[in-house]
Amino acid sequence: MIDFKNIRKSFGEREVLKGITFSVPEGQILFILGTSGTGKSVLLKTIVGLLKPSSGEVFINDREISCLSEREMFPVRRMCGMVFQQPALFDSLSIFENVAFGLRKHQPELDHAQLSARVKECLALVNLSGIEDKLPQAISYGMQKRVSLARTVAVSPRILLFDEPTTGLDPVTTNSINHLILELSRKLKTTSLVVSHDMQCALDIADHILVLDKGEIVAQGPPQTLKQSTHPLVQDFLREALNAETAH
């Protein structure tokens, strides 16, 4: 359960988030849509304390986290997994070591065989195998992005934050990743927050959609409600989704 209460965030003079309030019940999928630069990534980072809000409160499972120190945040972050907008793979480590990195830290009891099996399993989830020994620089951007997804999923977080997980990927992979998000949420009851530009996909798999514009929520609700929205930005997104559908 994530509760966001009147969150504001400024960088210097500039206010990026202007009083955001929403909540996500456990096991649900929330899609956050918005144009570039509206503060979606900032919003996601505020949830796990990578950025501190200027004012307002963030509750994760009824615990206020925005005032916690870096050390106190550790158990909270342990529950959360974040797929960053950039692949953010550690470039001095191989793909295997990248995926194993969090596992070694969170589950030190795993022996080498178990670790290696888990890494392979996670890479297979994102349709990658046989690249364990390569360095991140040696694989394509889309593959890096998928490895970063595998790395996050590997530690079985209870809350998953995805920052544009499918941007820059081909339609087939996009589909399989959306499917993966849905499956994690339905089977393992993982709470997911997905930042995306893809209204079609949001309508398909989200339980709740939130549309941000210039740091403010302009529309929110389940897909059915959102379809009725008259806000011009939401209309634009809906038209885009409709076009994509008819093009198929």
Partner 1 sequence: MTATLSDFFVYSTRTFKALFQPPFRSKDTFQQLEFVTWQSLPVIVFCVSFAAMVTIMESSFHMKLMVQNDSLVPGFASLLILRELGVVVSSLLLTSRVGAGLAAEVGSMQVTEQVDALRMLGIDPIRFLVIPRLIACTVGGVILSLIANLVCLYCAMLISELKLGYSSGSFLTGMRAFVSYKDLVFAMIKGGCFGTVIPIVSCFFGLRCESGAEGVGKATTNSVVVASVAIIVMDFVLTYIFSHFY
- If one asks whether residue 41 binds Mg ion (CB under 5 A), the answer comes out as yes
Q: What residues form DSSP beta bridges with 207?
A: none
Sheet-wide strand order for 29-34: 80-83, 159-163, 191-196, 29-34, 208-213, 216-221
Q: With left for phi above 0 and alpha for psi between -120 and 50, is residue 68 left, alpha or beta?
A: beta
| Residue numbers at the binding site for ligand ATP (CB under 6 A) | 11, 16, 34, 36-42, 85
User: Residue 90: which of Mg ion, partner 1, ligand ATP, none does it interact with, CB under 5 to 8 A by kind?
Assistant: partner 1
User: Residue 17: which of ligand ATP, Mg ion, partner 1, none does it interact with, CB under 5 to 8 A by kind?
Assistant: none
Cβ nearer to ligand ATP, comparing 52 with 105: 52
- To ligand ATP, the closest distance from the beta carbon of 161 in angstroms equals 12
- To partner 1, the closest distance from the beta carbon of 81 in angstroms equals 7
How far apart, in Å, are the Cα atoms of 21 and each of 60, 69, 75?
14, 23, 24
Cβ nearer to ligand ATP, comparing 36 with 224: 36
Cβ nearer to partner 1, comparing 75 with 222: 75
Residues 6+ apart with CB under 8 A from 204: 178
Q: Write the single-letter amino acid at 208.
A: H
- To partner 1, the closest distance from the beta carbon of 237 in angstroms equals 26
